[in-house]
Structure 1
Amino acid sequence: MTAEQQLPSMGGAVDLSALAARHAQPAQPQQQSAEGGAQGAPGVIVDIADAEFGAVVELSNQVPVIVDIWAEWCGPCTQLSPMLERLVAGYEGRLVLAKIDADANPQLVQAFQAQSIPTVAAVIGGRPVPLFTEAIPEEQVRDVLEQVLAFAEQQGVTGRVPVEGAAAPAEPEPDPVPPLHQEAYDALEAGDLPTAIAAFEKAIAQNPRDAEAIAGLAQVRLLERLQGKGADEVRAAAGGAPDDVAAQMLVADLDLSGGHVEDAFLRLLDLMATLAGDAKQDVRLRLLDHFEIVGLDDPRVAAARRRLTTLLY
């Protein structure tokens, strides 16, 4: 197969399961140790014989296995095999290379229908895919390996085997914090709520769709309203003045800060149902702040929004 050819459909592939089933408890493939093998890639480059083939078929359900059928007397193999080892090792566990000595393993040669040496194939999801039967340039080999990975992904074979010494995948860099957000966070850390509010307000003025700033502003305003006030004091004030809208809204703030979300929403919605004009608008805005604090995707917010809509129209 050349680099320009696409991998064939799996429909006509020979089923290797019968051969693999001959070894009910297959041994695990051993690490390639021959001279010229890729060092530092245990489990990625392996020598296999008939007894280990079941393990290779099983492994191919998690990661594509490249099969290199070679022989000591094969001149092209001396160029192709080291190249395959180096290229496969470079994929750091996304591919495994299984090397088969043709003279020592005639059953496997027959299973892969190898008519000449070298023969290179892949095993993906327990079934073989022929690749090429001669030494080809490195760039073409690399293209074939990329096609194998793409085809394996279509089959849902996307695993990776652990590779000793391989660098762990880098953690994605966090998005930089916008300067005004950072200013607000620094002010909060210092207990300076007015400065935090001003920073978030400026961020929203620059970008009215800044969801983080909108939610942050709602949270800091809640903290400011409750600053220096005890829970008993807030509830006593509201109990002594049931018609005081500001006092009732403050109790809702207290409920929300304590995690009693439904209670806060219910208090504000019931209060809003009794009001008109500017007072009703004030309660609506407080509710919207509470929605931002809880999170707009929270189902409790969705339920409260539905009732709010009925109160507005």
Structure 2
Amino acid sequence: MNLAPSDLSHFDWDNQRVFLAILTESSLSAAARALHVAQPTVRRRLDALEHSIGTVLFTRSPAGLQPTPDALVLAGHAAAMASAAAAFARAASGPADGVAGTVRVTASEIVGTEILPPMLAALRARHPRLRLELHLGNRNEDLLRRDADIAVRMVRPVQTALHARRIGAVPLGLFAAPAYVGRHGLPARLADLPRFALIGPDRAAGDLAMVNQAGLDLSRDDFALRTDNHVAQLAAIRAGLGIGICQHPLARRAPGLVPVLPDLFSLPLEMWVVMHEDLKRMRRVRTVFDHLARSLADYLQGPAGLDK
């Protein structure tokens, strides 16, 4: 690639959207489905982009289309442009001084699946012109790059130019379903845990390190069921597969889980609500931020707070 700045003026954003879709999907047909366009359109736009920058972006392989080194260099820039375009669309979706339009919220899978939905339902009942986007994932989205408007995070944010509110610390503990306890009883001490069916991480070394630092002495082989998906872990605990780690407020939900060694193991996990400093002036974003902060504070006090 060897482009002068004047060459950039004729770039077509739709071509770059196609480029990003092929990067993600690894085939023209899958990219076309993701973009809801015809495959020849994807092929035409890729050809146009490659012609405009004078380089090949993908090569064919048995695994599908593979990005060239030049494509990998461009990927981050195209992703940043996609985030900026999405942020622009959200900002333009409603008046800055009204509670209408689109707000994008990001949270972990467990928070977004188990905790936020009733809170967002109450918010939408109060402000029906709001449109909410909920992105779930355990990777922290970059609020400075406007990947999302608001984030619920379980670690203290370190980026500057962010407005952050600490909600409190969510207590984590060991829990089991009543049916499992009825069949197998409870351990008397932490050293007894490997004799029970344990539910825990698969390849997420950070999760295992965190619980071991809190007092457990377990290896990956000690778990009878391994998964890095926290929603799946909770479902397995509720189904009676074994003992696992759960947030105390979630464990209190009916029919309720049985605490295991509560005096010997407890792990506090901080909860923050965060947004970009510039978005404080946008009323709909501030409304969602304040509602989530209040609702999550209620959540830490117990299930009764979920509908507040």
TM-score between both structures, scaled by the size of structure 1: 0.22
Indicate the structure whose relative CO is greater, using CA pairs within 8 Å and at least 6 residues apart.
Answer: 2
TM-score between both structures, scaled by the size of structure 2: 0.22
